[in-house]
Amino acid sequence: MKGTCDFVGINYYSRLRVGFEPRSPKTLFVEISVPPHKPQGDSGIEVPYGEVYPEGLRQAATRAPVRPGAAVLEIIQDKGRQKTWLQQGGFPVVNPTESLTEMQRHLRGEHERFGCLGGHKYFYLDWNLNLYRCHFWEKPMCNIYEFDQSKLIRDGCTRCMIDCYRDPSVLQFVAISVSDAWNNLKKGKLLSAAKSVFDSRNLTSLKAVWEDRKWIGKV
């Protein structure tokens, strides 16, 4: 309906501090910093993305004319984030529930069930055509012109929680298992093939695919 708005999305990252630096005329005496003792998000390739600062999201979310219900405020304030809170508040959440649970495991330092497929199925290509396993990684795998199967990395990395890579790693797990089983069968490695087929994570992955079917269908 004209003049109305159903959803407002806030893509909130982090906080950078701006200070006066008299020894830096090149930056017009401005210094941007992230205090090392504060909790930080992804380290980034050159500099950290910034300080984890939930208060900033609260301020953005409550600033007029955006006035969300209690759901979005709960996710900021409560460490036990639950997808259902947002959904109940009318906010669509595309991340599979299992990925959100993985995030919680990651933050608690617990064992994560789904290793990342960054460097195996997903990549990051920079403007110099250097290929990285993801945009979190410091060193490239190779230049795109040197890429071949031998450059692929599959080590079950759980170094970060960038959902661009971690969500599809959960969703695609079952397909990778099928592929592994098939390849092992062709090599006569029956035990390894059976291990891939009967991996309990396949069911969790299928559940995630089913949960996200509405969004996957639109890709």
Q: Between 26 and 111, name the residue whose CB sits nearer to ligand SF4.
A: 111
- Pairing assessment for the beta strands 124-125 and 17-20 based on DSSP bridges: unpaired
Fill in the DSSP letter of residue 40: B
Whether cis (ω within 30° of 0) applies to the bond prior to 65 is yes
Q: Any contact of residue 118 with ligand SF4 (CB under 6 A)? A: yes
| Contact flag: residue 165 with ligand SF4 (CB under 6 A) | yes
The amino acid at 21: E
Figure out which of the listed residues 75, 131, 134, 208 binds ligand SF4, where binding follows CB under 6 A: 134
For position 136 contacting ligand SF4 by CB under 6 A, the verdict is: yes
Tokens of 182: 């098939």
CB 27 within 8 A of CB 36: no
Task: Kindly state whether residue 137 participates in binding ligand SF4, applying the rule CB under 6 A.
Answer: yes
Which one of residues 34, 160, 181, 208 is an interface residue with ligand SF4 (CB under 6 A)? Answer: 160
Per CB under 6 A, 116 contacts ligand SF4:
yes
Locate tokens 């970060």: which residue?
A: 160
Please name the residue that has the structure tokens 């004209």.
2
- Identity of the residue, 31 or 126, whose beta carbon is nearer to ligand SF4 in the bound complex: 126
Q: Which residues of the shown chain bind ligand SF4 in the complex (CB under 6 A)?
A: 116, 118-119, 133-134, 136-137, 157-160, 162, 165
